Amino acid sequence: MIGLLVIDMQVGLFEGESPRHDADDVVSRINVLARAVRAKGGSVVLVQHEDDEAYAHGSREWQLLPTLDRCPEDLKVRKTACDSFYRSDLDKVLRERGIDRLLVTGCATDFCVDTTIRSAASKDYEVVVVADGHTTKDRPHLKAEAIIAHHNWMWASLILPARPVKVVPTSEVLGAL
């Protein structure tokens, strides 16, 4: 069974001085993927970061982006670390639904998306990273576009003999559904 993992697409992460790279188009591609996954009987899993300060549960910053399409049947998982699996219900929720193939999207490429991809791979999920379905912002030492390109290359190059991570654009993911 397939699951679309949508990591940290929250209001507070898309505000501030340095915008997220290609944010509107990333949201648009995630919405297209979500509709396609639902149509094929898969699940959309919305992961939200929370803490006691900037991302307090229920706060404005914690809310999902209003432009992100949601349905009542979508699953929600709360997390407190970069790794969406760490001390969260994510693994349990996925296994209860029989989800063993993950399409990974979200924010931020170099933190929560990266950590979650590596964790999912170590738990023997089939991981497909949507190459144009994740975003980050410029960092002091590197532009967002370079960070995204680097991580896409790195994930595709990880040594995982049983289930290598696949990195493909939205158009190819949609064609394979």
Residue spans of the domains in the chain: they are 2-176
Q: Is 81 exposed, middle or buried (0-12, 13-18, 19+ CB in 10 A)?
A: middle
pTM of the model: 0.97
CATH homologous superfamily of 2-176:
Isochorismatase-like (3.40.50.850)
Tell me whether the omega of the peptide bond preceding residue 156 falls within 30 degrees of 0, making it cis: no
- Which pLDDT tens digit goes with each residue over 9-42? 999 999 987 789 999 999 999 999 999 999 999 9
Model pLDDT for residues 76-110, shown as the tens digit of each residue: 999 999 999 999 999 999 999 999 999 999 999 99
| Helix segments in the chain, DSSP class H | 23-39, 90-96, 114-122, 144-157, 170-176
Distance CA 63, CA 54 (A): 12
Q: What secondary structure letter does DSSP report for 141?
A: T
Sign of the Cα torsion 124, 177, 172, 21 reads negative
| Residue 61 phi, psi dihedral angles, 5° rounding | -65, -30
Mean pLDDT of all residues in the chain?
97
